Amino acid sequence: MIYIHIPFCKQKCSYCNFHFSTSLNFKDEMIRSMKTEIRLRKDELQDKSLKSLYFGGGTPSILSADEINSLIDEVLKYFTFDNDIEVTLEANPDDLDKNFLKQLAQSPVNRLSIGTQSFFEEDLILMNRAHNASEAESSIKRAQDFGFENLSIDLIYGSPTSNLEIWKENLNKTIALEVPHISSYALTVEPKTALENWISKGKVASPREEEQNKEFYYLSDFLKDNGFEHYEVSNFAKPGFYSRHNSAYWKYKEYLGIGPSAHSYNGFDVRSWNVANNQQYIKKLHAGILAKEEEILSQYDQFNEMIMIGLRTIWGVDLESLKSKFSDQILEHFQHEIKSKIEEGVLIQENNHLKIPEKHWFMADGIASDLFLV
């Protein structure tokens, strides 16, 4: 599978520390450089039949449909598409006008991941989103009108401008709109963001973990009552609508990341990442040089990643896979560490898989990190 990172946004959200630029001055050069990178790295993926192509960012919907199609055409020079490939485009509500959707509907894009975040104006203003509450709802309806049934929306809970009642209304609206996939995250305070600055100066209240915990478990119970499956800590889907792309990440499949700051993984022991600087990325690719670094993952690194990722999902960690992959020394340490966690009830062993009971999922990362090798 391939991930393409589009490093442009109209404006910077207050909570975001992803790599992007609000200047489109070098958009054409960036697209050319991405095409060069695709060509130079085409042999890094063993499987030439793609099951997923994902445009993330940044804001991929800031590109025109023609520009998106030109990148897809470049991919198709070196790869084929699986019969039921999932081609996802992350999009902001304010970009999804009728003309753009009409053009997208005629392209290979068959899944939209819409950055809704909230249906309430106060939340969107705090987050410095480019869309308003009306656009949050109307963009979803327009996408459905143009035949996009495979839709996902992002929702953020635990904002200082929100509370449990507002959160319930957000979820009721989502159900009414018949969206089949939801990715939902607690508002976090990342370093060097506007939100961190506002909180440090007392302009905005800090998110409260107790409130976020409450909203997370309401989210999980409510969506399951409405036919969703909670298949990863932050992800919920109607049957048949799991994100194929993200599920492959969580199952340690190989993937190729194209564009500034994009990461790649060979499915075994090599992870690489591109420089998080648009100008440096363009300059290097213009000279035919890859703008990436890589590392060989140690046994400890691989073990820790498998634990962290696996324990966030309904599939858990495959114990047979651990036995075949790691040394007796690592496995002995692991068995010793999980014993007390199982006794505490924060881990369970089921069908030779190690899992965190869903009632403890809000603390999944902390539970997993206690098992890490250092």
**Do the Cβ atoms of 284 and 275 come closer than 8 Å?**
yes
Whether the per-residue pLDDT at 20 is higher than 80: the answer is: no
**Do the Cβ atoms of 374 and 333 come closer than 8 Å?**
no
pTM for the full predicted model: 0.94
Last residue of a domain, one of 188, 223, 250: 250
Calculate mean pLDDT across residues 245-270.
93
The parent domain of residue 354 ranges over 300-370
d(CA 204, CA 199): 5
* Helices and strands, number each (H, E), in the chain: 14, 15
Instruction: Give me 367's structure tokens.
Output: 């539970």
Place of tokens 């969206």: 179
Find how far residue 189's CA is from the centre of its chain. Answer: 18
Give a yes or no: residue 348 inside a domain: yes
Instruction: Give me 257's structure tokens.
Output: 């990341």
Query: Which strands make up the sheet holding 111-117, listed edge to edge?
Result: 229-232, 235-237, 181-186, 151-157, 111-117, 80-91, 49-57, 2-6, 256-258
Angle (CA) 68-74-78 rounded to 5° is 140
Q: Are residues 46 and 187 in the same domain?
A: yes
Q: Are residues 65 and 160 in the same domain?
A: yes
Q: Are residues 335 and 231 in the same domain?
A: no
d(CA 338, CA 367): 10
Q: DSSP states of 151-183 as a string?
A: EEEEEEE--TT--HHHHHHHHHHHHHTT-SEEE
Whether the per-residue pLDDT at 312 is higher than 90: the answer is: yes
- Confidence band, pLDDT 50/70/90 cuts, at residue 231: very high
Instruction: Give me 266's structure tokens.
Output: 């060979």
Last residue of a domain, one of 226, 250, 274: 250
Q: Are residues 40 and 146 in the same domain?
A: yes
Whether the per-residue pLDDT at 342 is higher than 90: the answer is: yes
d(CA 31, CA 27): 6
Total structural domains within the chain: 2
Q: How far is residue 122 from each of residues 59, 125, 251, 328, measured CA to CA in Å?
A: 22, 5, 38, 54
Give a yes or no: residue 139 inside a domain: yes
* pLDDT number for residue 18: 78
CATH of the domain at 207: 3.20.20.70
Calculate mean pLDDT across residues 194-198.
92
* pLDDT digits 0-9 by tens, 328-340: 889 888 888 899 9
Calculate mean pLDDT across residues 265-286.
95
